[in-house]
Structure 1
Amino acid sequence: MIGDKAIGSRIFNGVNAILLALIAIITVLPFLHVIAASFATGAELAEKRFLLFPTVWSLDAYRYIFSTDTIMKSMLISILVTVGGTVWSMLLSTLTAYGLSRRDLVGRRYIMFFIVFTMLFNGGMIPTFLIVQQTGLLNSLWALIIPVSINAFNMIILKSFFQNLPDGLEESAKIDGCNDFGILFRIVIPCSMPAIATISLFYAVTYWNTYMHAILYLSDSAKWPVQVLLRQIVVLASGLSYDGAEYTNVPPPEISVKMAVIVVATIPVLLVYPFLQKYFAKGALIGSMKG
């Protein structure tokens, strides 16, 4: 019996490993194709619809994208908006979530109702634009941060995580003389790093991918984030009109430029993820232990 169980366990583990490996390959192959196509020549892209290793490696698409300093300025703007917006959003979300996680908060249910209400209904694009205009945020980088300062879903996740922390932690901190802010910054936040890291990544990806708000609120092309500029580069490579930065080089193949744009827009987020991976793993372990 024991031997049969051991054999069955090995077969299950082997089949599981094969299936997971196939899923991983299916997931990675499209991105490898995007990277390979960004380095391929126009002739090879015309011959092959799918490739993983270009016969001749070319940097024409990347030279075209970085042919002026405009792209670097847009990258710096995106980094500034992403870092500043993430810190601002996490500060507001953490304070709001901690307050709502306190069961003795007066009017807690009514506040939660109005927050959840915003997840289902909103004023729409035109009222939001008018508010941004009337508050003087139009054509300012703050217009990319203030209107999306708090995401209700992310805040609710933080609130639920705070509520699952042992009550004894706060009680012992109060005995030691900590006030509410001391409990939050010395006890709750250090114990909630998995959730905070996860929500921070959600906010960072949202700010990094800012496109529509920049189109609506920024009329000065010098303040465009990288996503908007990359879109204009793709438009220029397609042979359409473009009113932004001027490029003197002959555009490389449109497909190659599109693939290079995807790589440039994706790599920064991929570089950040490994630093937060340990918090995701720790969060999964905590969840399994609590379950």
Structure 2
Amino acid sequence: MSTNTLALRRHRGPRRDTRGQKVFRVVNVVLLTAFALICLAPFLHVIGSSFANPGELATRPFVIIPRELTLNAYRYVLSTPTIFRAMGVSVFVTVVGTFLSLLVTSLMAYALSKRYLRGRRVINFMVVFTMLFSGGMIPTFVVVSQLGLLNTVWSLILPVTVNAFNFIIMRSFFQGIPDSLEEAARIDGCSELGVFWRIVLPLSLASIATIGLFYAVAYWNTYMHAVLYINDSNLWPIQVLLRQIVIVASGMNADASAVDVVPPAQSVKMAVIALATLPMLLVYPFIQRYFVKGALIGSVKG
């Protein structure tokens, strides 16, 4: 490019947007803002209702900003040890389950991402097959029972340690890592496990953070497995306790002694929902920057 052309561009200054581009940008911002507000409305309703008094909830079907703020619902919920026990079970299942799932899934995905592995296609087919067909509820219950996992928190972790969809995303991500990096590490004396730990994992933080979020949300929202495999109310996770509170509040038959509360008002139910949602909302901002990158790289290359 000639010197005269560069000088002419500097003289003209930065390129200005056309009128159509400005209109498109404004419309785009307005539409996206409106869509974001629509998505936030249910969360704002839950939070606002948790701080409202029962009389206001009876007269206003949709509350975002209550007329009178009150903490009675949160005092009521936090006054019983049942909620803390259920929270502790959910935290344990989420933390331990996410760690084990990431460990097993990453090791399995790394091994099956190697084209020179014998029987790789057969094993991959067996994993993908589980996405289309499963044993069903009764066979799974029999397996869990025979393994002695009933009425233990491990029944909420071990049967769902590996998710086929998450495995495929992580395997596709590992396949995109250049083989030259691993070969250079092997030349320097790294073992296969050393290559995985020192080379592959540091390059896969985006994928690991994304899959970790998928697993954490799934473990935190565990409900059906707890209903099927756990009869001891002391081992119920937070989601099952929420169900019991809603049933008791609705006046239906339920194990009220396990809930350890009297039938709560609508604000109390909203407070419990807010407390149950808060941990995931606090974790998400820290890994949000990895989320889109990890999910898209794994899916596009797969």
**Equivalences for residues 145-224 of structure 1 within 5 A:** 145-224=157-236
**Equivalences for residues 120-131 of structure 1 within 5 A:** 120-131=132-143
Of 264, 270, 280, the match for 2:275: 264
Aligned equivalent of 1:12: 24
**Equivalences for residues 250-289 of structure 1 within 5 A:** 251-253=263-265, 255-280=266-291, 282-283=293-294
CA 1:84–1:285: 2 relative to 1, 3 Å: closer
Deviates more, 1:40-49 or 1:144-153: 40-49
Shift of 1:39: 1.3
Aligned equivalent of 2:239: 227
Deviates more, 1:15-24 or 1:203-212: 15-24
Q: Are residues 1:108 and 2:120 paired?
A: yes
Please tell me whether the aligned partners of residues 34 and 259 of structure 1 are also in contact (alpha carbons under 8 angstroms).
yes
CA 1:217–1:252: 2 relative to 1, 3 Å: closer
**Counterpart AA for 1:273:** Y
Task: State the TM-score, normalizing by the size of structure 2.
Answer: 0.88
Please tell me whether the aligned partners of residues 115 and 152 of structure 1 are also in contact (alpha carbons under 8 angstroms).
yes
Q: Are residues 1:134 and 2:146 paired?
A: yes
CA distance in structure 2 between the partners assigned to 1:201 and 1:186 by the alignment: 22
CA distance in structure 1 between the partners assigned to 2:246 and 2:88 by the alignment: 20
Identical-residue share of aligned pairs (%): 58
Of 77, 80, 85, the match for 1:68: 80
CA distance in structure 2 between the partners assigned to 1:152 and 1:282 by the alignment: 20
Q: Which runs of 5+ in 1 are unaligned?
A: none
Please tell me whether the aligned partners of residues 51 and 69 of structure 2 are also in contact (alpha carbons under 8 angstroms).
yes
Please tell me whether the aligned partners of residues 209 and 294 of structure 2 are also in contact (alpha carbons under 8 angstroms).
no
Please tell me whether the aligned partners of residues 173 and 297 of structure 2 are also in contact (alpha carbons under 8 angstroms).
no
Shift of 1:21: 1.0
CA distance in structure 1 between the partners assigned to 2:178 and 2:273 by the alignment: 44
Shift of 1:286: 6.5
**Counterpart AA for 1:17:** V
Q: Are residues 1:47 and 2:41 paired?
A: no
CA 1:275–1:90: 2 relative to 1, 3 Å: same
CA distance in structure 1 between the partners assigned to 2:264 and 2:295 by the alignment: 45
Deviates more, 1:274-283 or 1:72-81: 274-283
CA distance in structure 2 between the partners assigned to 1:3 and 1:278 by the alignment: 30
User: What do you get for the CA RMSD once the two structures are aligned?
Assistant: 2.2
Q: How many residues align?
A: 286
Aligned equivalent of 1:81: 93
Shift of 1:285: 9.0
Deviates more, 1:44-53 or 1:88-97: 44-53
Instruction: Name the SS of the counterpart of 1:215 in structure 2.
Output: helix
Please tell me whether the aligned partners of residues 237 and 257 of structure 1 are also in contact (alpha carbons under 8 angstroms).
no
Shift of 1:264: 1.6
Q: Output one character per residue of 1:111-134: Cα deviation in whole Å (capped at 9) or x when no partner.
A: 111111111111111111111111
Shift of 1:212: 1.0
Instruction: Name the SS of the counterpart of 1:239 in structure 2.
Output: coil
Instruction: Name the SS of the counterpart of 1:139 in structure 2.
Output: coil
